[in-house]
Amino acid sequence: MTTAASLAFAEHHQSEDEHLAAARRRADEVGVVPISPGAGAALSFLASAIGAKAVAEIGTGTGVSGLWLLRGMQAGGVLTSVDLEAEHQRLARETFTSAELAPQRFRLIAGAGLDVMPRLTDDGYDLVFLDGDKVEYGEYLEQAVRLVRPGGLIVFDNALWHDRVADPAQRDPETAAIRDVIKHVATDDRLRSVLLPLGDGLLVAQLLP
Ligand SMILES: C[S@@+](CC[C@H](N)C(=O)[O-])C[C@H]1O[C@@H](n2cnc3c(N)ncnc32)[C@H](O)[C@@H]1O
């Protein structure tokens, strides 16, 4: 089995530049936990591999995952990102602007994921990234299946939730909701999935064409 040292090595396979470092500092200042460098690199890779032009994200934070995604998307691709906290989105805008991304490349919507997702376009996204309220992951999945185009990807962060998901003694609402989603994507005929042990775990599901 892979050791902790190898996982740490994989985590830093791709380095982060000063813009991602600044976004992490902003996250620290407001108490947001951003995606890890390894999981961010995986998001960017996935967006690039499918030639993503339209990505939706729930849980903008200060823009660490958003910047990784935007850098993997096609030139001119648009990230639509939703967050409850206007202050987090102000900091994410600072992240994207200082990384010289044109304002038309990101659409930041302030609101709750479950209020905004029903208003987004069916089949309108190549990739949907979910990193908001863990208890809502099951409902995010239902919405994401509608939003993503056939062949597109649905990605959940924190799929291992601080080692709690793998521990059957842990039954708090967040852990239980994440476990349910993992089970659901594995048994849903419309989806093919893989759980990547990068960062806090990335659950990736493809909507079969
Ligand atoms: C883990 S942080 C996101 C980090 C970000 N994806 C990154 O890697 O840089 C979670 C974010 O989700 C937001 N959030 C929490 N509950 C939410 C909800 N129900 N709808 C939308 N956003 C929510 C929080 O305000 C916070 O900014």
Q: pLDDT digits over 36-82, tens only?
A: 999 999 999 999 999 999 999 999 999 999 999 999 999 999 999 99
With H, G, I as helix, E, B as strand and everything else as coil, classify residue 4.
helix
Nearest CA to ligand 1 atom 18: 112
Domains of the chain by residue range:
4-207
Mean per-residue pLDDT for 172-198? Answer: 97
User: 182: burial class by Cβ within 10 Å (0-12, 13-18, 19+)?
Assistant: buried
pTM of the model: 0.98
Q: Give mean pLDDT, residues 12-27.
A: 96
Whose CA is closest to 127, among 72, 55, 77, 76? 55
CA distances from 133 to 77, 114, 130, 173, 178 (A): 26, 10, 9, 11, 10
Enter the DSSP assignment of 110.
E
Q: Which atom of ligand 1 is nearest to the CA of 65?
A: 8
Say yes or no to pLDDT of 1 above 80. no
Q: Which CATH number fits domain 4-207: 1.10.150.20, 3.40.50.150, 3.90.1660.10, 3.40.50.300?
A: 3.40.50.150
How many percent of the chain have pLDDT more than 90?
98
pLDDT of the residue at 2: 82
Distance 120 CA to ligand 1 centre (A): 18
Each residue's pLDDT tens digit, 126-184: 999 999 999 999 999 999 999 999 999 999 999 999 999 999 999 999 999 999 999 99
DSSP annotation of 204 reads E
- Give the binding-site residues of ligand 1, using a 6 Å CB cut-off: 32-35, 58-65, 82-85, 88, 112-113, 131-133, 136
| d(C-alpha 39, C-alpha 120), whole Å | 25
Residue 193, pLDDT > 80, answer: yes
Q: How confident is the model at residue 20 (pLDDT cuts 50, 70, 90)?
A: very high
Q: Is 129:157 a contact under the CB 8 Å cutoff?
A: yes
Q: Are 203 and 179 in contact (CB under 8 A)?
A: no
On whether the CB atoms of residues 78 and 120 are closer than 8 A, the answer is no
User: Which residue's CA is the nearest one to ligand 1's atom 5?
Assistant: 61
110, exposed or middle or buried, with CB in 10 Å at 0-12, 13-18, 19+?
middle
pLDDT at residue 152 in the model: 98
Across the chain, mean pLDDT equals 97
Please give the average per-residue pLDDT across 185-204, as a whole number.
97
- Angle, CA of 193, 58 and 99, to the nearest 5°: 105
- Ligand 1 centroid–CA 111 distance in Å is 10
How remote is the CA of residue 89 from the centroid of ligand 1, in Å?
A: 10
